[in-house]
Amino acid sequence: MGAESIGIVGGGIGGIATAVALHQVGINAVVYEKAAGLHEVGAGMMLWPNATRVLREMGLLEKVLACSGPNTHFLVRATCGKVLMNIALGKFDVPAVCMRRSDLLAVLLMALPRERVCLGYDLKCLKQSRGKVRLFFSDGLVAEHDAVVGADGIRSRVRSELFGDSDPIYRGYTVWRGLARYDGNAVPPGSNSETWGVGKRFGILNTGHERFTWYATANVPSRHLDASCGRKRELQNMFAGWHEPVADLIDATANDGILKNGARDFAPLRRWGDGMVTLLGDAAHPCTPNLGQGGCMALEDALVLAKCVDREASLHSALRRYESLRFHRTKGIQQRSLLMGHIGQWQNPLLVTGRRVVTRLLSPKLIERNLRRVYSYKT
């Protein structure tokens, strides 16, 4: 293909992964990030087999495994600690792991020439003319590319330029995240977990080297303000009496190290692109954080896009082919994640009791087979 360059707006995991994948097929891809430094927002993340398969194909899996923790089982627990369901991930050609988002970003950056990342570039608008896309930044700088990929997150400026402004939908609960060191034995080796309470949940993920990422959810108004005692104390009170090591993990996290975000998404877009511009990751298909697939979907997007650019006769056809290959896959993940969050946040006593009974009766093998459809995906 004769494409000279592709501009990528957004320097998160999706944007950098896309630049790496395009670089590996010989395309000059440049990332524009509005922040002055690349600091991935978020604590830890799951990389399920569908994502580690992408990283293997990109030649980065071994580096990822060196800074991650294993995941062979996922436990659903009651607040007292009782295991309601033990879901084995089954045998795949690649492992499932958990790692810090910043570590994954560092691995990706090592595979990309330094000059391909431009920091402090805040996109103001874009214009298309004669098969080219011009990016106009707030400091007056202008860049021109053969195509542009918007990988700038749920509040994407590129998406707004294409389809107009719109606000993400708040789904009724907020998520707190943190990273902590823990050397106790309350977390079974290889097992990550999510505990279901009444309108609240708490997840524990092993990122390796006695480091854990945790997340907590609670049904609160969209404009929920931190308690006067601070986030850490508020969470300690909110999850008091829950099983070990919930309290230990919160205690081991600095107050200013606790991230807080409302659970938001968009209804699936009918189309992702226009002309020589397309979207990727949360800019295209944001989903609530209930399946651990947000970052995984962005990695899938990156590799599929690069393959389309490499194989299609024109860059325009490559963008449309990429969108057609990814739309139904990501729409299904968005819808499933929304449903899982809705069930997990139930607070009606009858529904909560019914959920617990059904969870204990469901066959883990049935769940495993259902999840295999997600994890077996190949680009």
Instruction: Give per-residue pLDDT as tens, 178-215.
Output: 999 999 999 988 899 999 999 999 999 999 888 999 99
What does the pLDDT read at residue 118?
97
Instruction: Give per-residue pLDDT as tens, 217-251.
Output: 999 999 999 999 999 999 999 999 999 999 999 99
Q: What confidence tier does 41 reach under pLDDT thresholds 50, 70, 90?
A: low
Q: What confidence tier does 3 reach under pLDDT thresholds 50, 70, 90?
A: low
Radius of gyration of the chain from its Cα atoms, rounded to whole angstroms: 21
What is the percent of the chain with per-residue pLDDT over 90, rounded to a whole number? Answer: 88
What does the pLDDT read at residue 260?
96
Q: Which residues of 228-251 are buried (b: 16+ CB within 10 A; e: fewer)?
A: eeebbebbeebbeebbebbebbbe
What does the pLDDT read at residue 369?
83
What does the pLDDT read at residue 285?
98
Q: What confidence tier does 1 reach under pLDDT thresholds 50, 70, 90?
A: low
Q: State the pairing for strand pair 191-196/123-129.
A: unpaired
Per the DSSP assignment, residues forming a β-bridge with 117 are 31
Q: SS3 for 205?
A: strand
What does the pLDDT read at residue 38?
81
Q: What confidence tier does 53 reach under pLDDT thresholds 50, 70, 90?
A: very high
Instruction: Give per-residue pLDDT as tens, 314-365.
Output: 999 999 999 999 999 999 999 999 999 999 999 999 999 999 999 999 888 8
Domains of the chain are 5-168+265-375 (3.50.50.60)
What does the pLDDT read at residue 332?
96
What does the pLDDT read at residue 239?
98
| Mean pLDDT across the chain | 94
DSSP for 59-114? Answer: T-HHHHHTT-EE-SEEEEEETTS-EEEEEE----SS--EEEEHHHHHHHHHHTS-G
Residues 6+ apart with CB under 8 A from 103: 64, 67, 68, 207
DSSP for 153-191? Answer: -TT-HHHHHHH---PPEEEEEEEEEEEEE--SSSS-TTE
What does the pLDDT read at residue 89?
83
What is the percent of the chain with per-residue pLDDT over 70, rounded to a whole number? Answer: 98
Separation of alpha carbons 161 and 325, rounded Å: 23
Contact 158, 279 (CB under 8 A): yes
Task: With a cut of 60, say whether residue 150 has pLDDT above it.
Answer: yes
Task: With a cut of 90, say whether residue 42 has pLDDT above it.
Answer: no
Separation of alpha carbons 46 and 36, rounded Å: 27
Separation of alpha carbons 103 and 66, rounded Å: 10
